[in-house]
Structure 1
Amino acid sequence: MPRSRSGSGPAVAAFLAAALASGPARVRAQDAAAPPQDEAVTLDEVVVAAPPPPVQSEAAAAPGAAVTVVDASRYAGEAKGAAELLATSPGVAIADHGLGQTATVSIRGSSAEQVKVLLDGLPLNTAAGGGVDLSTIPPQWISRIEVVRGTEGVRHGSGALGGVVNVVTLPVRAGTWSGGATAGSFGTYQADVAAGTGGDRWGLLAAAAGSTSTGRFSYQYDDHQPSTPLVDRDRVHNGSALGGGLVKGFLLAGGGRLDAAAQLSGGHHDLPGWPYNPTPDDWQDDWRGLLSARFRRPLGDALVLSAGATGRLDRLDARLAELGGQVIRQRGAATGGSVGLDWSRGPGSLSVVLDGGLETLDADGLGDRARSTVAATAAGEVSFLDGRARVGPGVRVERTGGFAGVSAKLGGSVAVAGPLSVRASAGRSYRVPSLSELYLQQGIVAPNPALRPEAGIGGDAALALDGRLGTASAGVFTTLYQDLVVYEAASFRRLTPVNDAKAAVRGVEAELASAPIRRLAGLSTGLAYTFLDTENLRGAAADLGKELPRHPRHRLYARAGVGGERAEAHGEVQWISRQWLNAANTVQIPASFTVGMGGSVRITARPALRLNLEVRNLLDDRSLQDGYGNPLPGRTVLLTLRAGFPDTGAR
């Protein structure tokens, strides 16, 4: 199945237009305005008496949004986590430090902090700052991931400068169950179970997952000096143990629908340090607990009332040699609530939401800190030309602690002819400094209570084709990031965060996803390409006009698969061009080219039992590095045995 609804990039080859324009879409990417079929409970009750909550992030449903929906079932049995799935989308860069280790996401040249990461619509970004660690989301829970590129503060508030990532967990389905076990290279093991129960008016899903890895592998050390030969080394103190549990369900009552979920996840990471500065005694333990509930009820024919409440607890303990070797403890909490009205009649709709919350952080060197957030959002949509055109403005006024700001966006799309459409959007978002940046003393890093919010202003436009053979899109984008927070030397061995950076980012994005072709053994293909041109506009003279570190100009992901329900095989390649390790662009990380392959065989049909094989870095390149110069594993082999009813692939 095609996996994206819209995107942007260089011009798609002309022959695609003829192939994709050959009739109405039998196989389409998910329409951002309508929930997928697997989320329906009982159609009459859902539509008339109890409308389900939006299954996409609200930003994904907006007119003109640059959205890619990564369907996890397309990668059935491949042991791909959130980071690996996100890497298949254009505009996305992943900082993945290896099996079981921390992984963060960047979109369109943003930092990890400037991307809002959601789990079933609930924000995971914390008051402590830093990007969300994707490795803490058990991969077996993922049903799909919605990637919304661009400034999206209107619908998701402070922190969505680069975009929004919404990880949607497994749907609640009565009578379903699944379980699996994976074993592979570098002492890697995973296991998971899930089961659903319920009736016409209620449903419940429970799931648990765990994984462990020694993370020990051999690699070729590169000290970034051209005259120095590569040296064989072992990556040690690189293990991890992760796990979690999930319970979610729905209840039709009181003329509406209540959806609720509880999630606990986290674990232990060894912190090996940089190759030239190992840290054999460093480690990190982190846990996260989430609670959410949302009730939706129609008020007549045109209005729907919604109300929600959320809660989150975060715990982090870490031992870092560079901060004196003591154990650092952080405890965070957040609560929130919202109430909204959705009005829809004829070609127009309007959504008004009032929300508020409180977040607290208790950390060594900080003490207890707390701040509240209050916000009001109004977003609408008007369709015309018999529904072929959509325009949607939106604005959000928000106050967090002592900071106040406005986010705004205007987007639209037009169906030009047949499967060809055009979309465009422009907007502004900002990110409020974290409590850590403002108040937390961290060894050599001093806080700065005078920090201002970062801001991003940007826009994009794209052409998209959506026909019975698949989907394709191509377009351009630009973003100006202002008042970026960077760390500068305040005195000998002391750093302070300051709003002393400004950057321009321009680029092109393209993606293609074809439907399986039965006459060619079920052949399907996918491609995502990003060209990113970044420029530092403020700072030291040696850094002005240079590219931003850890932002390669080119990223290409391509995939092809054959087969059907009984057996399948696939291959994929990923190319990442050279990127700079420092702001002065004097130390570089070489380009990387990796090949992966795998396949699955169905052993029994009822219940479904499948054996899956996945091979990453097939060519066993042991000189690969992440964006920080850390080594990445060589050839990795993962074998998965999976059972379930009904047969829904690997997940």
Structure 2
Amino acid sequence: MRRSYLAGRWLCLALSTSGVALAQEAEEPLLVPAVEVEEAPVAPGSPEEASRRDPSGALTVIRVDEFGGAARDTAAMLSTAPGVTVQDVGGYGQSKSLVVRGASSNGTLVLLDGIPLNGAGGIADLSRVPAALAERFEVLRGGAGARYGSGGLGGAINVITRRPGATPRVAGELSYGSWDTATGWLSATGPLAGGEALLLVHGGTSSGRFPYSFDPSPTLPGDALIERQRTNNDARGAGGLLRLRRELGRGFLADLLGELSFDERGLAGTAQNPSEDARQSGGRGSANLRLAGTLPGGVRTNARAYFRRDRLALSGGPWGQRDAQVQLLGGMEVEGQVLLGGWHSLSALVGVGGESVSAAETNAASGGEPTWLRASVMAMDEMLLWDGLLTVAPSLRVERAGPYTLLSPKVGVTVALPAGLEVRANAGRSHRAPSFLELYVRQGTLLPNPDLRPESALYADAAVVHRSEVSFASVGGFASLYEDLISYEAYPPGAAKPYNFANARVVGLEAEGEWRPHPLLSGAFSYTLTVSSDLQRDGRFYLRELPYRPRHKLAARVLGGPRWLTGRVEVVAQSAHFLTRDGAMSLPGRTFVHAGLSSTFGSRTELTVSGEVRNLFDVHAEDFVGYPLPGRAVFLSVAGAFEPGVPSESSSASRTEAPP
């Protein structure tokens, strides 16, 4: 019985038609109402699919096409997942990073179809990942070291790009709104040279000159605020994506992706210390080739080679004119999965790669420009017991990251219960090797420290999940112990230097759910309670809450109406939190309300007109230490799609490439 159950599940995975289907087959929650999508087949068990990399993990899949209307933003969509908080410098194109389960921003891995996007500083800037690229986001919460490697202390975000289609299709969208913010994209898919192709171009620009409230004398409580305009806050960017897929015969598939982007923005500084001429420009080029299929003996295999070049240049302000910093990253991975004994499957991965960074100033300890070799070996055994009611998935990764050897174990358990209930639990350990900047690169008054040790996290979580035909709900708790955290401390006479000195504890509660009582009405929500404690043995900080970790965070959305007039309301709120480790400065809580309307007409030629009001009640708020966030903003968009020869039913179902 056990053998037949697992064999059936194996066959189901082998015949699955898409990453979305895999996530749904594995019963992963969606933050948004599910849509039946007819998609082209992909290779089963892709190593980029979070549902296969971590079958028991706390995973949320966010579909871009469910965020209808204008002003879609990658960071804003990701912030609707439980356990995820955005750190925002404010405005279109300005820096946005994530805190997941209380880990610092450099403790969250962000990947583009499996290619790491975390820069030389260890932080991935989501403003450089436009939503136009993505079909969906996979948000894996909890330590991701065993399955994804160094850097995943709090979790991993995988951006799954749009996929080609066998049917010719042209789609695009133009949006315009407040502060001369204009964005657009255009895509074309169809057959090419015996395979399928996708070509997508995108771009955007904004003046960023929004008004904000300024306190001219913050030390005097109750004084009047004045209104100012945000200056040197403009941003612009453009890029493209080319993806080719082709069946090679004998059950193998090749998938080639190339991505190129350029961006430039002003660095406006804080409200109290504005910058008039600081600028940043950058560019990214990446390529990813994946081969997937089944070898003789039933071994499902995925192999991929990837490369990324990331350029970043700073000028003006405190930096003056500096040489551009260039990070190069590349490698290869081979992963295989085989059914053994009829009741468990064994997965193994071997990877090797390297990375380097150029910088204006480096530490002599780097031996010149820093270069690292990376290598890793991972194994996971997914065991199905009691006729599949109990799944146990232990895994282990041994990784060499430059001079550091990292050992990341994990065990996950899933228990299927009656009445649509399920229990999931995970425990393990993850690491983050120090970044090149922390180790070797001098950045003005920020000095490097080649003696740093890797950060680490011990973590555990458990959740109860319930599903029915019209609803989904999950409630769970998590706990993480972060050790050897790296932080910059004063280094006389006037510099700062990173040290391993801090430990921290984070515990919390995560809840999420969705409800679809009627085809024309749906709702979704997520809530996170995060309680953090600084464990550094210093009376100024001991047991205080960590900065930038709001205790409460809520996201809720309601969507309703027919296709020709669909309305939506979204609420995003977070509580007050500290800005400094001693608790002397804090940031007030805030609640943003967004609302929009969309109308879609046509079948083979489809047209959608949308209006969106962001921050409906014009709440003036700040993030970080004095970075103003935009107030009320209005956006309008027109989107269209053309599929020659496709009847109405197919056109309305195939929404993957053209969000409404």
Deviation at 1:574, TM superposition (A): 1.4
CA distance in 2, matches of 1:612, 1:307: 41
Q: CA deviation at 1:539?
A: 5.3
- 1:176 and 1:32 mapped to 2: Cα distance? 30
Q: Distance in 2 between matches of 1:384 and 1:462?
A: 20
Query: Which of 328, 331, 336 lines up with 2:326 in the alignment?
Result: 331
TM-superposed CA distance for 1:627, in Å, is 3.0
* Counterpart among 527, 531, 534 of residue 532 in structure 2: 534
Q: Which residue identity does 1:617 align to in structure 2?
A: N
Q: Which residue of 2 aligns with 1:260?
A: 256
| Structure with more contact order per residue of length (Cα contacts < 8 Å, sep ≥ 6) | 1
CA distance in 1, matches of 2:63, 2:50: 18
Partner of 2:616: 618
Task: Give the equivalent residue in structure 1 for 2:594.
Answer: 596
Q: Is structure 2 residue 652 aligned with structure 1 residue 634?
A: no
Q: Structure 1, residues 152-194: CA drift from partner, whole Å, max 9, x if none? A: 1011100000000011111211212211100000110011100
Q: Secondary structure at the match of 1:405?
A: strand
C-alpha distance 189-293 of structure 1, shift in aligned 2 (>3 A): same
- Three-state SS of the structure 2 residue aligned to 1:461 is strand
Q: Which position in structure 2 is the counterpart of 1:348?
A: 344
Which residue does 1:135 correspond to in 2? 127
1:5 is matched with none
Aligned-partner SS, 2:358: strand
Q: For residues 263 and 95 of structure 1, do their structure 2 counterparts lie closer, same or farther at Cα, with a shift above 3 Å needed? A: same
The 5 A counterparts of 1:268-347 are 268-319=264-315, 321-323=317-319, 325-345=320-340, 346-347=342-343
Structure-2 separation of matches of 1:363 and 1:535 = 35
Task: Choose the corresponding residue for 1:363, options 342, 348, 359.
Answer: 359
How many residue pairs get aligned? The number is: 612
Q: Which runs of 5+ in 2 are unaligned?
A: 1-20, 30-34, 363-367, 643-650
**Contact conserved, 2:410 with 2:429, CA < 8 A, in 1?**
yes
Which residue of 1 is the match for residue 5 of structure 2? none
Deviation per CA, 1:222-277: give whole Å up to 9, x if none. Answer: 46543433221111110000111000121111521111100012300100001111
1:64 aligns with 2:56: yes
Q: Is it true that 1:198 corresponds to 2:201 in the alignment?
A: no
TM-score, normalised with respect to structure 2: 0.89
Cα distance, 1:338–1:517 mapped onto 2, change above 3 Å: same
Q: Deviations over 1:120-177 (max 9, x none)?
A: 1211113x12411111112112111110000110111000000000111112112122
> 1:479 and 1:547 mapped to 2: Cα distance?
14
Distance in 1 (CA, whole Å) between partners of 2:395 and 2:50 is: 11
Q: CA deviation at 1:64?
A: 2.1
Query: Could you tell me how far apart the structure 1 residues matched to 2:524 and 2:80 are?
Result: 9
Is the deviation greater in 596-605 or in 199-208? 199-208
1:80 and 2:77 are equivalent in the alignment:
no
Structure 1 479/578 Cα, relative in aligned 2: closer, same or farther at 3 Å? same
> Is 1:210 aligned to residue 199 of structure 2?
no
Are 1:334 and 1:360, in contact at CA under 8 Å, matched by a contact in 2? yes
Structure 1 residue 387 displacement after superposition: 2.0
Distance 1:253 1:37 in 2: 28
User: How far 1:516 moved relative to its partner?
Assistant: 5.1
CA shift digits 1:68-122 (9 cap, x unpaired) = 1111111122321210110111000001222221111110001111001011121
1:243 aligns with 2:238: yes
Q: For 1:511 and 1:195, locate their aligned partners in 2 and report how far apart those are by CA, in whole Å.
A: 35
Sort the Cα spacing of 1:203 and 1:125 in 2 relative to 1 into closer, same or farther, 3 A: same
Residue 403 of structure 2 corresponds to 402
Q: Which moved more, 1:627-636 or 1:217-226?
A: 217-226
Q: Determine whether 1:94 maps to 2:95.
A: no
Matched ranges for 1:109-508 at <5 A: 109-126=102-119, 128-174=120-166, 175-198=168-191, 202-222=195-215, 224-225=218-219, 226-255=221-250, 256-319=252-315, 321-323=317-319, 325-345=320-340, 346-366=342-362, 367-508=368-509
Matches of 1:566 and 1:385 in 2, distance apart?
Answer: 49
Q: Please identify, of 508-517 and 185-194, the stretch whose mean Cα deviation from structure 2 is larger.
A: 508-517
CA contact (8 A) 1:33 1:61 kept: no
Separation in 2 of the partners of 1:264 and 1:53? 27
> C-alpha distance in 2, partners of 1:639/1:158?
41
Partners of 2:28 and 2:61 within 8 A in 1: no
Q: Distance in 2 between matches of 1:602 and 1:494?
A: 57
Q: Which runs of 5+ in 1 are unaligned?
A: 1-26
CA contact (8 A) 2:232 2:267 kept: yes
Q: CA RMSD in A?
A: 2.1
Q: Kindly indicate whether the alpha-carbon contact (under 8 Å) linking 2:59 and 2:140 is maintained by their aligned counterparts in 1.
A: yes
The one-letter amino acid of 1:485's match is I
Q: Does 1:650 align with 2:659?
A: yes
Q: Which secondary structure does the structure 1 equivalent of 2:497 belong to?
A: strand
Moved more, 385-394 or 194-203: 194-203
What TM-score results when the alignment is normalised by the length of structure 1?
0.90
1:567: Cα distance to partner? 1.9
Identical columns (%): 35
Q: Is the 8 A contact 2:100 2:141 kept in 1?
A: yes
